[in-house]
């Protein structure tokens, strides 16, 4: 028994010695991978920090340049009731809600959890569940970092490159009219079909988690699809009295609602 153990020990030493060069290469490769991963994590953290700071600056600018509904306003009360306790902290994200007294049908979401709902949206939708459905899609855009991505696109004229953090940090010095110009550009950056698909799926999952069905999401997306089709025809019309709906700007950013309806039904 001792001879066998001794022989196996010699073989193991020989194999280890012969494979030492390969093992060394493997260690180097692992080292590079770890360094790359560490760098990526650090880069993501820096990017998040810059986006969140810019997000806060934009929220301040928006709040100062819009009429924010008072705490005792029916709009604020209704939104607080819709959101309740379940949609204030979601997946470790603290959400901050306000209502803008604006007749447009719109809702804005910023990377650091700021969600701004226009009174025109609340006026247009009698169903609280439909309002909640739209809010949860915006939460999805924040959690999935689509909201951050749109800031980057606005900062870099539609593109995202390796200097993203530096670009956002430059924007932190903007104020007044210059910041306002950037905000207006950012508001018009559309989400992609893939981003909307992922946000809708997140919304449906979140609603079901909180004992809500996705029916209201299907319902509101169907309504928006109809408005989107009508607005497209209106925009192409040569008739002078043709009007577009209050949801026109919203649908330009959150487009292809007909496709989204079919996808949500499959979740």
Reading the chain (267 residues) residue by residue, the pLDDT tens digits are: 444 444 444 444 434 445 555 555 554 554 544 444 344 666 678 888 888 999 999 999 999 999 999 999 999 999 999 999 999 999 999 999 999 999 999 999 999 999 999 999 999 999 999 999 999 999 999 999 999 999 989 888 755 555 577 777 888 888 899 999 999 999 999 999 999 999 999 999 999 999 999 999 999 999 999 999 999 988 888 776 778 899 999 999 999 998 899 888 877
Return the pLDDT at 69.
98
Return the pLDDT at 201.
96
Residues 6+ apart with CB under 8 A from 109: 115, 116, 138, 139, 141, 142, 147
Handedness of CA 256, 258, 263, 267 (dihedral sign): positive
* Structural domains counted in the chain: 1
Stated pTM of the model: 0.81
CA distance 239 to 204: 40
Return the pLDDT at 156.
81
Minimal CA–CA distance to 61: which of 164, 159, 154, 187?
Answer: 187
Torsion of CA 26, 31, 37, 39, to 10 degrees: -150
CA distance 122 to 104: 10
Which structural domain, as residue segments, surrounds residue 68? Answer: 2-264
Residues 6+ apart with CB under 8 A from 102: 66, 67, 118, 119, 120
The answer to whether the CB of 67 falls within 8 A of the CB of 101 is yes
């Amino acid at each position: 028994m001792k001879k066998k153990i001794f022989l196996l020990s010699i073989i193991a030493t020989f194999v280890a010695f012969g494979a030492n060069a390969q093992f060394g290469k493997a260690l180097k490769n692992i080292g590079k991978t770890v360094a790359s991963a560490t760098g990526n994590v650090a880069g993501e953290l820096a990017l998040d920090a810059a986006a969140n700071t810019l997000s806060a600056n934009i929220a301040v600018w928006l709040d100062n340049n819009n009429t924010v509904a008072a705490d005792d306003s029916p709009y604020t009360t209704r939104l607080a009731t819709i959101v309740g306790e379940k949609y204030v902290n979601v997946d470790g994200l603290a959400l901050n809600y306000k209502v803008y007294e604006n007749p447009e049908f719109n809702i804005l979401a910023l990377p650091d959890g700021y969600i701004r709902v226009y009174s025109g949206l609340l006026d247009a939708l009698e169903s609280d569940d439909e309002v909640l459905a739209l809010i949860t899609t915006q939460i999805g855009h924040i959690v999935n970092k689509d909201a951050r991505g749109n800031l980057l696109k606005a900062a870099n004229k539609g593109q995202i490159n390796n200097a993203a953090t530096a670009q956002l940090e430059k924007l932190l010095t903007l104020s007044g009219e210059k910041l306002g110009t950037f905000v207006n550009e950012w508001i018009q950056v559309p989400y992609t079909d893939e981003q909307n698909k992922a946000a809708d799926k997140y919304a449906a999952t979140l609603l079901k988690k909180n004992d809500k069905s996705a029916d209201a999401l299907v319902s509101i997306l169907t309504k928006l699809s109809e408005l989107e089709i009508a607005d497209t025809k209106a925009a192409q019309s040569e008739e002078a009295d043709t009007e577009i709906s209050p949801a026109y700007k919203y649908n330009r950013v959150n487009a292809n609602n007909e496709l989204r309806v079919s996808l949500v039904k499959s979740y």
